[in-house]
Structure formats: C-alpha cells, structure tokens
Amino acid sequence: KMAAAAAAVPLRVCHQEIVKFDLEIKAAVQDIRDCPGPLSALTELNAAVKEKFRHLRGRIQDLEEMAKEQDKESEKQALLREVENHKKQMLSNQAAWRKANLACKIAIDNSEKDQLLQGRDILRQRKTTKESLAESASNITESLMSISRMMSQQVQQSEETVQTLANSSRTILEANEEFKSMSGTIQLGRKLITKYNRRELTDKLLIFLALALFLATVLYILKKRLFPFL
C-alpha cells in the first residue's frame, strides 16, 4: 500500500503537467493564429511551442513508463489508454499548430503585399507631383525669359530713341542761333529727352527685377531637384 501511495504522487504530478502543457500549447497556437507579424515574432512563438511540445512529449513518455511498471493489469491498461488519448491530443495540437502557422504566414504575406502596393502608390503620386512641379517651373521660366526678351527689346528701342533725340538735340543746339524763333520746339524736345531718360531708368529697374525673379525661380527649381528633402 505504501508503494502504491508513493507511485500515485508522481502519477498525479505527471497528469497535472500533461494537462498544463496541453493548455499552454493550445493558448500558444491561438497566439500564432492571431500573430500580426512580422516573421521574427512568428519565429519566436514557434520556438516557444516547440519547447512546450518537447516537455509534453517527455511527460507522456514518463506516464507510459509508469503504466508499464504497474502491477495490476487493469491499472496498467487504464494508464496505457490514457497515454494513447494524450498522444492523440498531442497530434491534434500539432495539426492545429501547422494550420495556425499556415494561416499566419498567409496573413503576413498579404499584409506585406498591401504595404508594398501602398508604397508604390505613394511613389507614383510623388513622381506625378514632381513632374507637375517641374512642368510648372519650366512654364514659369519660359514666361520669365519671354518677359526678359521683351524688356530687352524695349530697352534697345529706348536707347535708340534717346540716341535719336540726342542727335536731334545736338542739331538743334548747333542751329540755335539760326532758329531762335523755334525755341518752343526746342523746349519741347528737351522735355521729351527728360521723359525718355526717365523711361530708360524705369526700364532698367524692371529688367533688374525680372532678372532677380528669374534667378530666384531657377534657384528654387535647383533646390527642389537636388535637395528635395530640405
């Protein structure tokens, strides 16, 4: 009787550990099924499950050895049937484990594919935006160059006009003694010269402003193309 009581203690402990590892494996399989990724997290969960299966398999083997050591045939057969049930349950857990891994890997692959597609969409949008900005900058540059050419032509015309008026002024001055009666006309010519001198100054100022705007635009385009992260 004392030997039977002593043997019952490890049997009870073995039963408890088998039940504990079985429940832990079921919970771990559920964690694998719910794992959102990445694959490294799935690998860690699988390593833990493998360790629990190792412990469970060892306890089942211990129970089987204890069953074989039983004196009574009825107790021996009862324990062996229990061992078979535990083995079947372990095989069921292994099948659930494989299914959970398959489902988790499929979910992680789909998630990575979605992220990749989203990344491609973002890159495509950025490329479209850059092309639009480049086109706008090109149009602005062309417009500024056109304005610059027009201003240059206006300045050239103004210079020619001033030169013509200067020549006329010299002619009037040389003929001043002969055409004193045309002093009113000479005064009008002087007013015109003053007016065109002012116009020349205004044209030069406009050219300076246009060139400054053109250079600022070119610098902005170069900055966006060469240092987009600034």
For residue range 143-186, list pLDDT tens digits in order: 667 766 766 776 577 677 657 756 766 675 775 666 566 667 76
User: pTM score, two decimals?
Assistant: 0.44
Q: What is the pLDDT of residue 81?
A: 94
Establish if 94 belongs to a structural domain. yes
Q: How many domains does the chain have?
A: 1
Supply the pLDDT for residue 195. Answer: 83
Whether 195 is in a domain gets the answer: no
Does position 136 have pLDDT exceeding 50, yes or no? yes
**28/31 Cα distance (integer angstroms):** 5
Only one residue has tokens 């090109």, namely 138
Asked, for residue 55, whether it belongs to a domain, the answer is yes
Q: Which range among 89-103, 124-138, 208-222 shows the weakest confidence by mean pLDDT?
A: 124-138
Tell me the CATH number at 23: 1.20.58.400
Q: Say what percent of the chain tops pLDDT 90.
A: 33
* Mean pLDDT within 19-39: 91
* Residue 209 domain-assigned (yes or no): no
- Other Cβ atoms within 10 Å of 14 Cβ, number: 20
Q: Where does residue 118 fall: left (phi above 0), alpha (psi -120 to 50 degrees), or beta otherwise? A: alpha
pLDDT value of position 54 = 95
> Is residue 199 included in any domain, yes or no?
no
Phi then psi dihedrals of residue 147, to 5 deg? -60, -40
Per-residue tokens: 132: 């639009």
- Identity of the residue numbered 67: A
The residue segments making up the domain with residue 106 are 1-115
Q: Please, which residues have CB within 8 angstroms of residue 30's CB and are 6 or more apart in sequence?
A: 100
Task: Specify the pLDDT at position 7.
Answer: 46
d(C-alpha 202, C-alpha 68), whole Å: 114
Average pLDDT, rounded, for the chain: 81
Q: Does an H or E element contain 213, and which? A: helix 183-226
Task: Find the mean pLDDT for residues 9-24.
Answer: 88
Q: Does residue 133 lie within any of the structural domains?
A: no
How many of the other CB atoms lie within 10 Å of CB of 63? Answer: 21
Residues 53-73 have pLDDT tens digits of 999 999 999 999 999 888 888
Q: Considering only CA atoms, which of 88, 90, 66 is closest in space to residue 78?
A: 66
Higher-confidence residue of 83 and 151: namely 83
User: Residue 144: its pLDDT value, please?
Assistant: 65
Please tell me the distance from the alpha carbon of residue 165 to that of residue 144, in angstroms, as a whole number.
Answer: 31
b/e code 95-132 from CB counts within 10 Å (16+ = b): ebbeebbeebeebbeeeeeeeeeeeeeeeeeeeeeeee
pLDDT at position 4 is 39
pLDDT digits (tens, 9 = 90+) for 181-218: 666 776 777 888 888 788 888 988 999 999 999 998 98
